[in-house]
Structure 1
């Protein structure tokens, strides 16, 4: 390997590591969503004692998650649009401002009413969360296209591990003396009324908002898109150059059909929509057109042509074209339904585990530790499953996981 090639390789490796670290920091702050169950008994007790909403209950905190679901749906879609329009850093910064600003603004709304807190900590907070969520993941995948799900797993492990740190920060700040709830209502709910504890609840929102923002600013500074020539691979590395003169050693069929065919090229590998019968071989890095019998009945007009690597890559879809294409894909609905079913149970357990535990456990610090230990497995599981998915694919991994249940 030439000296120039070695330096180029080392530079790319270092920049990739920096991008992964930056994305991890951004998501570490986003892991605040998993502190909700630990934090909720404190601010629900505060609202009962310091505002006019004296009948609010622990279970009512789920309305914050419910409002957050709306913010999630909007944030993921709009965040992707922002990334296309403004680029990686600006899009992530906008999301960070909304997310951290909403957390800090809860300092004021928690003193007003529960509904006001639902709007800031729930609706706009989760909106900012998902505005920020996707772009670091997409950026990491651009740097490691050959290990895309591992890259995504490393980034989102920050989200999984965030509560490992911030559960302890919240509990240590608000309840350093490990006080137990001293009010038990007729329905069995338990609440804090100690003035010294409740007095620290509003300022905790400010501490968290500032801490999250600091972490995300460092992370955003580390994010960057790969240079254009990162796609040009030096032959010293044992890979194929993607110059215009290179030809794919295959013959492709072009046709007109009511069905859309999606081509996505990652490195030298062409991925083709399976529903139309395309065969894909990642080892030979070739895609073969289907036989006439494999095509749908409405397929018409075939013509043979040899295409270059660049010609085989379609022009980038517009935002509306991408949305329309997604809505016509069966996989979109399968993944959507899977995530909906997963998140339903996750949000319920995450939101009420501590409120439930406090009904028969008087050790507040122990319950905070339970949430933190759960975060350990949430953190390390994500890159591990990402590496497994790179080898096995989504369907096989899902079968194995469901079989374990």
Structure 2
């Protein structure tokens, strides 16, 4: 495809889609901090108990995870900005907010849980939501006839970050693999004192990476248009109002699907380490589970994208929901097997199904509402995550 972008147009035409999508994957990897929440949860709550409020518990941190999973209308704004100013400028705007809020969390965690909710929860999630949608839309425009694969690759990047970030977080904060106390909290001063500086470290690494990758995020010139097809009965149309989208039966079914799946997806990704610490007393092993679960999440998203391109949304989502539900309902029995390798397999399997949910829904949204309407429609679908936070 052709492009007017100053940098990308100097790359051979055949390689441009791969370069842009590669840049999108790298950017998404820096935004995937939410998939490391389960790994850093024990460190954050231990620090807050030591420095701010001794009554903090793992359960009280659910509000932080909920905010990290999405802020209302941030993705809608991302879709709007992509239309008005382009994907790169929209992603730059989101990245500045995202990385800046990460750095501010160095100060907020030292003073208040509420301030941490504001910086590491609200602001970080808002910036991530804006950038996420801009990047996803650009990728789909570069591969208009392989939407499932394009979506899978981009959202795979979102899961990829956890594979690298989780072990680095643990190595930085707990390099000696010191165990948590019998209540599941760390009390060692050498661990707790490193928690605030972790935010600065992540902000620097993410900021440099984003600065480079954003140079290669570009929009194709006159992208090929593909015929949109409804999953149910809505006729294709080049432009739909938000009201038309929300009142369609397709949107309602996708909204319900994302809402129901997100309940167990967020529970698994947020609390698997805290639960594992009740019977596995090895911080490095749990960090390894977090890392490989992120890789399972990442790899599965590409595979789900390929699979749905060959089959259908209905078939793919039915498989993901069935397997995910079975693993979720049997997770509590794993601790009685007294073999931590089973816990490793169960968590990786569950993250594979999580990858399915967040690949198949954007695929269905694009197929149902078309490329032009995708940004707004998918942003509105993400509002289901806000409702999920209250369950």
Whether 1:194 aligns to 2:188 is yes
> For each residue in 1:141-179, what CA deviation from the matched residue of structure 2 results, as whole angstroms up to 9, or x when unmatched?
111111011011111111111111000110011010101
CA distance in 2, matches of 1:338, 1:45: 35
2:305 aligns with one of 373, 386, 389: 386
CA distance in 1, matches of 2:194, 2:230: 56
CA distance in 1, matches of 2:156, 2:134: 15
CA contact (8 A) 2:87 2:138 kept: yes
The normalised TM-score by structure 2 is 0.76
Alignment match, 1:57: 57
> For each residue in 1:241-266, what CA deviation from the matched residue of structure 2 results, as whole angstroms up to 9, or x when unmatched?
xxxxxxxxxxxxxxxxxxxxxxxx51
CA distance in 1, matches of 2:228, 2:75: 27
CA distance in 1, matches of 2:197, 2:56: 21
Q: Report the secondary structure of 2:269's partner residue.
A: helix
CA distance in 2, matches of 1:101, 1:370: 29
Alignment match, 1:216: 210
Alignment match, 2:180: 181
The normalised TM-score by structure 1 is 0.73
CA contact (8 A) 2:232 2:249 kept: no
CA distance in 1, matches of 2:124, 2:260: 22
CA contact (8 A) 1:61 1:351 kept: no
Alignment match, 2:40: 39
Alignment match, 2:112: 113
C-alpha displacement of 1:379: 0.8
Q: Report the secondary structure of 2:208's partner residue.
A: helix
CA RMSD of aligned residues (A): 2.1
C-alpha displacement of 1:138: 0.9
Aligned length: 315
1:377 aligns with one of 282, 293, 296: 296
For the pair shown, the structure with the greater C-alpha radius of gyration is: 1
CA distance in 2, matches of 1:68, 1:198: 22
More helix by share: 2
C-alpha displacement of 1:403: 4.7
Alignment match, 1:19: 20
CA distance in 1, matches of 2:60, 2:124: 17
Q: Which has the higher contact order (CA 8 A, sep 6+)?
A: 2
Equivalences for residues 94-133 of structure 1 within 5 A: 94-133=93-132
Change (3 A) 1:270 1:343: closer
Change (3 A) 1:192 1:401: closer
CA contact (8 A) 1:147 1:390 kept: yes
Alignment match, 1:166: 165
CA distance in 2, matches of 1:400, 1:39: 31
Runs of 5+ consecutive residues of structure 2 not aligned to the other structure: 1-8, 327-391
Alignment match, 1:363: 282
More strand by share: 1
CA contact (8 A) 2:34 2:68 kept: no
